[in-house]
Structure 1
């Protein structure tokens, strides 16, 4: 069980090379880090454990990662690989569960249920607050909401059929202006259909080239979410 009475959570995605790089830059040895964790945070962490963290053989818990950041004079976010989940973003921002819940206008238990399920279910005002507090782009908001797969399915349907029929459902998932959303869906539909037309026109000239183009079509659909955000001019998960 964790501090909040729920199930034990997996450790944040630890950036082992960054931990070692930051330690070396401070002129510290692993033993110095272990001592600092004990003296400053009351953690009984051995030198061997610090070395294991830096080699990627073990990962610190959420509290250990926060303490390690303190010893290395950095933010927890610098010790985490690209954050994707609500919990990872919260840890990177050094926010306690209670603090983030209060900022969003939620009870601690209500927020925790969403963090643990990986599915954000806040209202429009709470969603806007979440994006502001965690510094999320539109793409980042969809990812932490656990909606990437649902968005991918809708986008594949939009480019392979009539894109106009999917504007409303996509708009419910992504916080983009309606005109921009329509332009992006139309562009993706045009690009995909052009790729499929070229496949048909090349089929009479050689199966190898046609097969390669078919692979390109499948790749297009596999990368549809990334293409969508690129077309919308949105990069990454944070602002």
Structure 2
């Protein structure tokens, strides 16, 4: 007798971020009830334990579907898995969101499947520049996501911290090595961030808050430095 897999009530840390409101919205748009979704997943995708209550729990965000469940749910709802996923954060999540098999990614980047899956599981990209470029193409990664999934975001944050707190000119080329942008764009963005940071610190001091308030305000600015950088890049290149 085959053992029937039961869904876990605990969140699956390996599962992609699930967009519960999107699942509910897509089901309603099709005129389906949770019972229809559950039936389709049981009959067509071999998931006999899926009940209307489980579908409702997914839509409420109290339970997260596993990868096979997410794929089956997307098929029943006539959508791509990416439409049921929140903003991807990791290499694995980007691949799942685009419904690309790991074998296809490994082939496209010229890497053996086991090695690719190992890097995906460890969130430790070690591909060379050619493989990184191929990865960006096969997963259609924009530049901020490419920097994040290839493990360059922490280094970029360090460079940006130094650029806004010291001489920004010295960090143009190092930033360009991590984020392949035109030199003029990087120069203008770094100069603007430097001015924003210095002006923010000066304004805080002038309000009479003293060095402690300035320090806290400066830390807050630096905590958002990567997001500020990409926002400035987007505004400049739009």
Provide the residue aligned with 1:110 in structure 2: 115
Provide the residue aligned with 1:35 in structure 2: 39
Given that residues 132 and 150 in structure 2 are in contact (C-alpha distance below 8 angstroms), is that contact kept between their aligned partners in structure 1?
no
Provide the residue aligned with 2:232 in structure 1: 231
Q: 1:208 and 1:198, CA in 2 relative to 1: closer, same or farther beyond 3 A?
A: closer
Provide the residue aligned with 1:71 in structure 2: 76
Within the candidate set 16, 21, 29, 2:20 is matched to 16
Moved more, 152-161 or 140-149: 140-149
Structure 2, unpaired ranges of 5+: 1-11
Given that residues 82 and 98 in structure 2 are in contact (C-alpha distance below 8 angstroms), is that contact kept between their aligned partners in structure 1?
yes
Q: 1:119 and 1:174, CA in 2 relative to 1: closer, same or farther beyond 3 A?
A: farther
Q: 1:224 and 1:110, CA in 2 relative to 1: closer, same or farther beyond 3 A?
A: same
- Find the aligned partners of 1:114 and 1:185 in 2 and give their Cα distance: 32
TM-score (norm 1): 0.85
- Find the aligned partners of 1:21 and 1:124 in 2 and give their Cα distance: 40
Given that residues 20 and 60 in structure 2 are in contact (C-alpha distance below 8 angstroms), is that contact kept between their aligned partners in structure 1?
yes
Given that residues 18 and 79 in structure 1 are in contact (C-alpha distance below 8 angstroms), is that contact kept between their aligned partners in structure 2?
yes
- Find the aligned partners of 1:9 and 1:213 in 2 and give their Cα distance: 38
- Find the aligned partners of 2:21 and 2:13 in 1 and give their Cα distance: 23
Provide the residue aligned with 1:186 in structure 2: 191
RMSD over aligned CA atoms reads 2.2
- Find the aligned partners of 1:39 and 1:65 in 2 and give their Cα distance: 16
- Find the aligned partners of 1:131 and 1:109 in 2 and give their Cα distance: 19
Given that residues 201 and 217 in structure 2 are in contact (C-alpha distance below 8 angstroms), is that contact kept between their aligned partners in structure 1?
no
Paired residues, what number?
224
Provide the residue aligned with 2:100 in structure 1: 95
- Find the aligned partners of 1:189 and 1:167 in 2 and give their Cα distance: 12
Secondary structure of the structure 1 residue equivalent to 2:178: coil
Within the candidate set 59, 64, 68, 2:64 is matched to 59
Deviations 1:1-57 (A, max 9, x none): xxxxxxx96111111111111111111111111110122111121222112111111
- Find the aligned partners of 1:233 and 1:55 in 2 and give their Cα distance: 34
Aligned pair 1:49/2:48, yes or no? Answer: no
